[in-house]
Chains A and B, each alone.
Chain A
């Protein structure tokens, strides 16, 4: 019983951050239809930036949010404006191909700059544990979860109650009408791409002290992101968050109860099983 609770806690904590990562991709997809294969690699880039700030200036990893977040926001705008936007009217696979190219470029740059070894950003919190009735909760994943939750809720509030948020939803639901009402669709698109990268950067900073990373770690997160997005129903933000928690739990269950390659496959098996019965995902609506 204690083991089960332990597994669930671990799964939920990790799943919360996975949800935020997927939310960043989901919002980009919803306004521009871009499927970004470099999504996970941008997170790894944020992790390396956190590492750099730590090694150069001794920055407490969690505080580097304040620098890495905005940095990635502007990087995202630049990438969308100068790399993705020129291809936007072309075939969707061209854009996907380009993001795949960004993956290899970034992996190469990170490898050159930092070498191939596995890294982790030291934090004072890394060794702090709480023991609650036999269930051990490590502080660092808990902090990562809380940070992710705060940003996910903040994102939701922004989407619901601000002019920018309503514009994002308008562009998603009816771009033709939005254009006629004078919404600058391109501006919404690249701001949103910037925001998506800022969100994945927040997740990267939050994970950097607890999850080891190397230049090639990104693709794994990208694949998990796609699985979560599809599971939650493409473009459904709340569904995406919940699917993130589910995949987090499935990952933990697979690691602890099944172990080995089959255990690692457990989230994928769950994913396939869900799609067999709900092809549009758990919370997808026919549209």
Chain B
């Protein structure tokens, strides 16, 4: 479905992602792990088109989409969940979701989409009129994911959804992601919490200083000595 080949991203002279190749099949749950500043976020931002690639190609279902702007990629089904949990703080939950679903011009379809989001996160239904900025961190993360779901993704890109959340909320969010994945949604998850990421994903990439140094099934990665030495030992 998504094929990234030799993608390089640089900010001025600083190369953040160095000739990286990555593949996500339909309905797959893929983790991208690595330490701080390894280039994880940059790679995801390059996939969603927010950051331009310097070289390399992105192919989506056989079509080259390297130079497409985020709006077009969203229309194709590649949707990134906004990071930082804080969405549009002075807009209601409903309005936040409507921004996510604005490309769907059919009003009744849009309402159906919102109902689907409420089925995934029933707590949001009780808070439709509440300002997003007054929600708890977990609820804001639900809104952020809900916004992305409003755009009818086939591939969901997530950048550290566990950041700053209490453990029970992290579990809740990841359980929901697992359900969405089992319904056919492909997920690319960037996560610093390696154990969490490898528990939920089926395949993973380890990125270090802009290079992919390891890839394989999540089970293999979890028992890989190098991974254990580099990351697991800390936890």
Interface residues of A (CB under 8 A from B): 163, 166-167, 169-170, 173-174, 176-184
Contacts and interface: CB of A to CB of B under 8 A. Distances in A.
A177 B50 contact: no
Contact of B102 (A163, A176, A177, A179): A163
A134 B73 CA distance: 65
Interface in B34-92: 45, 48, 50, 69-75, 79-84, 86-91
A176 B81 CA distance: 11
B86 A174 contact: yes
B99 A170 contact: yes
Contacts, number: 72
Given A182-B103, A184-B71, A173 B82 contact: no
12 contacts: A163-B98, A166-B99, A167-B99, A169-B91, A169-B95, A170-B88, A176-B84, A177-B87, A179-B50, A181-B70, A181-B99, A182-B70
B82 A176 contact: yes
Given A173-B91, A174-B87, A174-B88, A180 B98 contact: no
Contacts of B151: 181-182
Contacts of A181: 70, 74, 79-80, 82, 99-100, 147-148, 151
Nearest to B159: A180
Contacts of B74: 181-182
A166 B82 contact: no
Contacts of A176: 82-84
Nearest to B147: A181
A246 to B, nearest CB: 23
A179 B88 contact: no
A175 to B, nearest CB: 10
A181 B97 CA distance: 11
Q: From A166, A177, A183, name the one whose CB has the most chain B CB atoms within 10 angstroms.
A: A177
Q: From A174, A181, A182, A184, name the one whose CB has the most chain B CB atoms within 10 angstroms.
A: A181
Contacts of A166: 91, 95, 98-99, 102
Nearest to A177: B82
Contacts of A170: 88, 91, 99
A178 B48 CA distance: 12
Q: From A163, A169, A173, A180, name the one whose CB has the most chain B CB atoms within 10 angstroms.
A: A180
Nearest to A173: B88
A182 B86 contact: no
A174 B71 contact: no
A114 to B, nearest CB: 43
Nearest to A164: B102
B129 to A, nearest CB: 13
Nearest to B82: A177
A173 B89 contact: yes
Contact of B84 (A173, A177, A178): A177
Contacts of A180: 45, 48, 50, 70, 80-83
Contact of A178 (B89, B98, B99): B99
Nearest to A285: B90
Nearest to B95: A166
A173 B90 contact: yes
